[in-house]
Amino acid sequence: MARVVVDVMLKPEILDPQGQAVQRALPRLGFEGISDVRQGKRFELEVDGPVDDAALARIQEMAETFLANTVIEDFVVKVEEEK
Amino acid sequence: MARVVVDVMLKPEILDPQGQAVQRALPRLGFEGISDVRQGKRFELEVDGPVDDAALARIQEMAETFLANTVIEDFVVKVEEEK
């Protein structure tokens, strides 16, 4: 068993109203010095069996077709821990 | 300028219907071998100035009071890159 993380973020050129809302709220709440906030999604996948190149290729394909909308989003696949 | 990432995930004991929906859809879409999926949020903060202990303590407090609902969510603060 291993955990693989897929981080999905809006592409830099795509407007992120959620992140902007957070960023604008921060000074009001007393937190200064944050110039930008982007909000995205994090998927933690528990993978049966070893995370070899074939498994990673499959997860990459899954992220591309299903977890991220690659027209507006970028994603990163990371192996977090082997158990 | 540095990027600090705050990952917010539901606590393990809290039901995650979004993650479950993803997990159940995967076999139908031809992806086998994923035993669990949890979905959470990822915030990327662009911090003005150096990310020293004081800045990190402030971001920790911000995450605790504002980005995460600590009744049902855990969060992790990570410094990603110094620019």
- Position B82 pLDDT exceeds 60: yes
Residue type, A61: E
The pLDDT, as a whole number, for residue A14 is 97
Q: How do residues A44-79 score in pLDDT, each as one tens digit?
A: 999 998 899 999 999 999 999 999 999 999 999 999
Start-to-end CA span in chain A (Å): 5
Domains in chain A: ranges and CATH: 2-82 (3.30.1280.10)
Interface test with A, best of B18, B24, B45, B83 (most A CBs within 10 A): B45
CB spacing of A41 vs B38 below 8 angstroms:
no
Q: Are B36 and A46 in contact (CB under 8 A)?
A: yes
Nearest CA-CA partner of B55 in A38, A32, A36: A32
* Confidence bin at A82 (pLDDT 50/70/90): low
Kindly state whether A51 is in contact with chain B, defined as any CB-CB distance less than 8 angstroms.
Answer: no
Q: How do residues B52-81 score in pLDDT, each as one tens digit?
A: 999 999 999 999 999 999 999 999 999 987
The pLDDT, as a whole number, for residue B83 is 56
* Percent of chain A clearing pLDDT 70 (strictly above): 98
The pLDDT, as a whole number, for residue B30 is 87
Q: Over the Cα atoms of chain B, what is R_g?
A: 16
The pLDDT, as a whole number, for residue B80 is 87
Interface test with A, best of B16, B34, B64 (most A CBs within 10 A): B34
Q: How do residues B4-49 score in pLDDT, each as one tens digit?
A: 999 999 999 999 999 999 999 999 988 889 999 999 999 999 999 8
Which tokens go with B81? 């890159």
Residue contacts between A and B (CB atoms, under 8 Å): 100
CB spacing of B42 vs A9 below 8 angstroms:
yes
